[in-house]
Amino acid sequence: MLWTIGITALATSLILLLLQNFKTPDQVVERKVDHRYAVSDPQFRREMSVLLGPTIVHGNQVTVLQNGNEIFPAMLLAIRSAQTSITFETFIYWSGDTGEAFSQALSKRARAGVPVSVIIDWVGSAQMEHSLLDAMQAAGVQLHRYRPLHWYNFARMNNRTHRKLLVVDGHIGFTGGVGIADQWTGDGGDPEHWRDTHFRIEGPVVAQLQAAFNDNWIKTTGWLLHGPSYFPALQEQGEVDAHVFVASPSGGSESMHLMYLLAIAAAEATIDLAASYFVPDRLLIEALIAARARDVRIRILLPGPHIDALTVKIASKATWGALLRAGAEIHVYQPTMLHTKLLVIDAAFVSVGSTNFDIRSVRLNDEASLNVYSSDFATQMTATFEADLLAAEPYSLAHWNDRPLRERFSEKILLPIKSQL
């Protein structure tokens, strides 16, 4: 009898802990954000700075890197040239040639005496051989896996770091969508090589990237990385205005949600959105529909036949009907897995980084986004978006209405857990 009671109590405790992973933040936006100004209005910048975190800073240069052929060589060159510090945080780090190249580059700089600090998500590195971890730690890399599963943090196992951050010498930063795995190599032209975009950054905003890394370094280790090796004086390197802000369930989780809502509410002409995982909540859908009511043209680019998460694809499609009925355009990318995260509004505002357009990113993950306020940069990213559209097929309301019954049934099954996908 006693052992039955004990097992029941243990099972109940585990269920309660598991249910904590479905809990949303206590403070959430629940009402539609109204259209009060355009993205070109100084008020938009003021509120994005005040409500979302770090102030917008001038004098940055943002270089666009397309696919692994451009992304990985640029990142490895920066790592190999490091003189004073390297900080690196990623979700995906898998074994393979790419993982080995990064391990060797980080290890070599650590052996040369450069402080190297690395955070790798515990879930995202599940396909990483321990030999890579051991080799880096043996070389002197200060490497920590983010939130490994223990009995005492079971209630937070769903809180992962999805940030992609690399800062070298406090001067050069990288962020975007790429993970450290062979799937990102090549030019994104076939199903074995994913389509993605990453960004090399110089200028004052790099300090905000470093602060974003420090946010999780402190959570993981209890140590603060500071001093001129990490936060040197930064000179202007370009003409771009930008800022970086972070989101996490442990603080500021609604900032990412609010950023999307504010930006969409400010749109007056165009919204171009590329999203590898598109599972918006009710407010985001309403915001897009409200933008269509203002005659804003909305183009949404999503993965097509190639996607690494079938459940996300199913849950995503359930939301398409309302958007298509409102007149939004949906296009599905054909050649390979589309992993880009890109939002361009009114040829003036761009948001890039690790954040997906889904509930997991805005409520559960630790994320970091770079917002750029530049018409030239927005024009460049619109050209990138439209180039990808050429490799996509339009998806109509008729397509959606004719989807098979098995898809509709699967959508209903996944509805209660779509925030976890």
Active site residues: 162, 164, 169, 339, 341, 346
Token pair of 85 as six digits: 């510090």
- The alpha-carbon radius of gyration of the chain (Å, integer) is 21
Beta strands in 255-404 (DSSP E): 270-275, 278-279, 297-303, 329-333, 341-345, 349-353, 357-358, 367-373, 392-395
240-247 and 367-373 strand pairing: antiparallel
H/E run at residue 143: strand 142-146
Please provide residue 46's backbone torsions phi and psi, each rounded to the nearest 5 degrees.
-60, -45
H/E run at residue 48: helix 42-52
Q: Taking Cα atoms as reference points, which of 283, 384, 369, 291 lies closest to residue 329?
A: 291
Contacts with 25 (C-beta within 8 Å, 6 or more apart), sequence order: 249, 253, 254, 363
Alpha carbons 175 and 173: distance in angstroms, whole number: 7
Q: Name 89's bridge partners.
A: 119, 165
Length of the chain: 421
